[in-house]
Structure 1
Amino acid sequence: MFVWRKRAGAGWLAANEVALREIAGRRLAIVSTPGHKNAIAEIASPNYSELEKIRKRFGGVIEKLPRNWVRKFLRGQKPKSLKIAKRLVIVSSTASGKMSTSKSNCLLIPAGAAFGTGEHATTAMTLRLLERMTRCWGAQAASLPVSAASRNFFEKFRPSAGCRRMQAGSLRSLARGFSLLDLGTGSGILALAAARFGAKRIIAIDHDPIAIATAKENARRNKIEQVDFQVADVRQWKFPARIDIITANLFSGLLIEILPKLKCAEWLILSGVLREQEPQLLRTLKRNGIAVGERRRRGKWIAMLGSAHPAELPRRCIGENVRYCEQNVRATPGKKFDAA
């Protein structure tokens, strides 16, 4: 394993971060120290020639890491945990004593080479949007009469004729659990979280074979079997005719390129976008008939929930419908539902 590093000031990073992310995606790390003006940009890769191209373009140095560098780095690190509402806890080690892989509300995602455990802003925001979006699916909603689920989930939509196909499809999904496509899966954390949230059919793809191998190991570690992991380029991959949810934690340029293909989903959760890239992405979404229902911002990153079915989707309508669904679930005898 090799790592490219460059120490640089805020101006250089602002001018080059987008280009670096288009090359390296989530493998780019920006390491800053309080009280210091400069930060360090790092990209890890087993491919020396890839990093050499980066060095020639951006400067910096390349170092070879020792074989057991991950173990040395993690030695002495405190186990981390990430809580998503009251439905999921993600930990990096069972040493924290907070989870067992046999529990349906827990995930064990060990920290490893270039793959996070959910704490990055883009992943955390996507996880929280996914959690909100799926509260009416799974065991809680599937146990409700369809009429009750229908009344509560769509009460605030007052759908036009253009919305009714989406409404009927979502009602069928409520009863059977949902399907999800995770683009750029990395450690597999979003796909595995979807399984915990009640997904019955999950496809997770990444162009990096190391990422897919890591994701498969995480699925095995958490005893999750319903995920189909595939090594593929999202620009060339054949998308299904219909799927309930797509999560795409990708850099902005790639999102814009593949956006027309994402309209096969009833709901889109998009992240990996910097704030300065938001206007261009919003314009592209509008041109493709995709309405944005909710936006979240954390630091320099944004995430958004959208849908092409219907285009009339009002902003933050999902939050309103989730609250109505929660009220119904709480009122169901023998059912317990914890809201965020």
Structure 2
Amino acid sequence: MFVWRKRAGAGWLAANEATLREVAGQRLAIISKPAHRNAIAEIASPNCSELERIRRRFGGVIEKLPRNWLRKFLRGQKPKPLKIVPASRAFGTGEHVTTAMSLRLLEKTTRFWGAQAASLHSSAACRRRLSKQVSASSRNRQAGSLRSPEAEWALLDLGTGSGILALAAAHFGVKRIIAIDNDPIAIATAMENARRNKIDRVDFKIADVRRWNFPKRVDIITANLFSELLIKILPKLKRARWLILSGVLREQESKVTRALKQNGIVVTEIRRRGKWIAILAQSLPESSRAQARDLANTR
């Protein structure tokens, strides 16, 4: 058995996937991973000549698999525990677009593709520098040269609902997590979901975000709340390095982004699905906030 394989970006796939489907049909597999810009296209065939024709046309490499490749593959598969957040009376099962977009941004942020990535994406040189930084981070975690969720990150989940964002953060490696909601039923549901998924490092609290005393230091705040409430508590949220905000309608986008700028918070990415948006933002250092407020007020 032989496998043709090519690592490709979104542009290349958009231009060539349909043609590859015509050639290979269901044998074409597109493998993509969260926070990876490139995907891998693969086609398996017992006929090396067929794959050679594909290689000459599309590039890539051909690998010959050992005779016992299937047995080795199956032997290496270890079943993973099934993680489920069931639909219940608490909001947030991953099916609503606001939750889904927040999950994407959370995964991106915890893998060094959040605010730092957005602030460096303006030039090819910066993109290369960021790529080197991300690669170096995995080598230097033990030395502590770059922060990693495994080492020290703290996350605050506001309006946790079912707890899905807090539980996902634990899955992504964040060690210190506080999840709050003003609904006792939501907190009870979130605690049960944590128990089902054998996650015990989330501190669930019943509290009102408008009156709750925020911790002095937090790296990430996720807030799936109505825009009016988000704007009201922004002075508290800006102590976080990264913010993931959702629950905002499209027609409220300009109002929310203007409030973020006035509080010295830089919007680094906005995702839109249907009538909803989700925002990834980074809080500026104190020395830069006054300048950002002045700039926002002149527009």
* CA positional deviation for 1:153: 4.1
Where 1:108 maps in the other structure, the secondary structure is: coil
1:152 partnered with 2:133: yes
Quote the residue 2:88 is aligned against. 112
Show CA shifts across 1:228-276 (max 9, x none).
0000000000011111100000000000000010011100000000000
Residue 269 of structure 1 aligns with an amino acid whose one-letter code is I
Give, as a single letter, the amino acid of the residue that structure 1 aligns with 2:252: Q
Q: Which amino acid aligns with 2:199?
A: I
Q: 2:251 aligns to what SS in structure 1?
A: helix
The one-letter code of the counterpart of 2:105 is: L
Equivalent position SS for 1:202: strand
CA contact (8 A) 2:89 2:186 kept: no
1-side partners of 2:192 and 2:150: how far apart? Answer: 30
Cα contact 1:285–1:291 (8 A) shared by 2:
yes
Q: Specify whether residues 222 and 256 from structure 1 end up closer, same or farther in structure 2 by C-alpha distance, changes over 3 A only.
A: same
Q: 2:101 aligns with which of 125, 132, 147?
A: 125
Contact 2:181 2:187 in 1 (8 A): yes
Secondary structure at 2:193's aligned position in 1? helix
Deviation track 1:51-92 (CA, whole Å, cap 9, x = no partner) reads xxxxxxxxxxxxxxxxxxxxxxxxxxxxxxxxx9559xxxxx
Q: Is residue 103 from structure 1 mapped to residue 80 from structure 2 by the alignment?
A: yes
Runs of 5+ unmatched residues, structure 2? 1-31, 36-78, 114-128, 137-143, 290-299
| Range with bigger deviation, 114-123 or 230-239 | 114-123
Q: How big is the shift at 1:126?
A: 0.2
Cα distance, 1:211 vs. partner? 0.2
TM-score, scaled to structure 2: 0.58
Contact 1:107 1:193 in 2 (8 A): no
Tell me how far 1:179 sits from its aligned partner: 1.2
TM-score, L = length of structure 1: 0.52
Distance 1:225 1:285 in 2: 33
Instruction: Answer whether contact 2:156 2:221 (CA < 8 A) is retained.
Output: yes
Partner SS for 2:147: helix
How much has 1:107 moved relative to structure 2?
A: 2.2
Aligned-pair identity in percent equals 68
Computing the radius of gyration from Cα coordinates, the structure with the larger value is 2
Say whether the 8 Å CA contact 2:34–2:108 is kept in structure 1. no
Report if the CA contact (8 A) 1:182-1:191 is conserved.
yes
Contact 1:191 1:227 in 2 (8 A): yes
- Distance in 2 between residues matched to 1:290 and 1:110, nearest whole Å: 34
In the TM superposition, 1:1-150 aligns within 5 A as: 103=80, 107-136=83-112
Aligned partners of 2:102 and 2:278 also within 8 Å: yes
In structure 2, relative to structure 1, the CA distance for the partners of 1:123 and 1:151 (3 Å cut) is same
Equivalences for residues 157-168 of structure 1 within 5 A: none
| Residue correspondence of structure 1 range 1-340 to structure 2 within 5 A | 103=80, 107-136=83-112, 152-153=133-134, 171-173=146-148, 176-309=151-284
Residue 238 of structure 1 aligns with an amino acid whose one-letter code is N
2:158 and 2:180 in contact (8 A); partners too: yes
Structure-2 change in CA distance of 1:170 and 1:241 (3 Å): farther
Give the CA RMSD over aligned residues.
2.9
- What CA distance in whole angstroms lies between the structure 2 residues aligned with 1:170 and 1:123? 32
Which segments of structure 1 move beyond 6 Å, counting only runs of 4 or more? none
Is the contact between residue 222 and residue 245 of structure 2 (CA under 8 Å) also seen in structure 1?
yes
Identify if the C-alpha distance between structure 1 residues 224 and 175 changes in structure 2 by more than 3 Å, giving closer, same or farther.
closer
How many Å separate the matches in 1 of 2:261 and 2:145? 23
Going from structure 1 to structure 2, the CA distance change for 1:115 and 1:264 (only over 3 Å counts) comes to: same
* Structure 1 residues without counterparts, runs of 5 or longer: 1-83, 88-101, 138-147, 156-168, 313-340
Residue 172 of structure 1: how far off its partner (Å): 3.5
Are 2:249 and 2:277, in contact at CA under 8 Å, matched by a contact in 1? yes
Q: Which secondary structure state, in structure 1, belongs to the residue aligned with residue 252 of structure 2?
A: helix
The 1:306/1:212 distance shift into structure 2, 3 A limit, reads same
